Amino acid sequence: MTDFLPREVRAGLEEARRRDLRRRARLRVVAGDEVWPILRFWEDGFALDADQVAHLRGLVDIYDGGRHVYTCLIIASAVEEGELICVMKRSTPAEEKAPLDFVRDENAPAGLLPRA
């Protein structure tokens, strides 16, 4: 059906689709001081708007609104149909507190009171 539309109309429809995806996106990528909305997200990668980002590689953080969700290592990115496709080597779920390096006893007291 889009083969019969003029090129300008097709470009306008594609731009409207990308603008709608950017507006609805809750997930975003943070790399240093830069922040970009994620258009699509899947198990081992995600897509960004290629007009906003030319190339992305390295360690980035992914947020859902204000909540830190993942820390990811991006190993490759390529532009396909106006989207920057980023492939992740690893994505580690973010924790709110540091992991323990010892086994915590289930019956341990929550705290100690000083002697008076």
Question: What per-residue confidence (pLDDT) applies to 85?
Answer: 92
Picking from 49, 46, 24, 23, the residue whose alpha carbon sits closest to that of residue 36 is 49
Domains within the chain, CATH numbers bracketed: 2-93 (2.40.10)
Question: What per-residue confidence (pLDDT) applies to 12?
Answer: 82
Question: What per-residue confidence (pLDDT) applies to 65?
Answer: 83
Per-10-residue mean pLDDT, the chain, length 116: 76 77 77 90 90 88 90 90 90 83 83 78
Locate 69 and state its tokens. 């969700």
| Torsion sign (Cα): 17, 18, 19, 20 | positive
Question: What per-residue confidence (pLDDT) applies to 111?
Answer: 80
Alpha helices by DSSP H, 4-114: 7-24
Question: What per-residue confidence (pLDDT) applies to 40?
Answer: 87
Rg (CA), the chain: 21
Residue type present at position 18: R
Question: What per-residue confidence (pLDDT) applies to 50?
Answer: 87
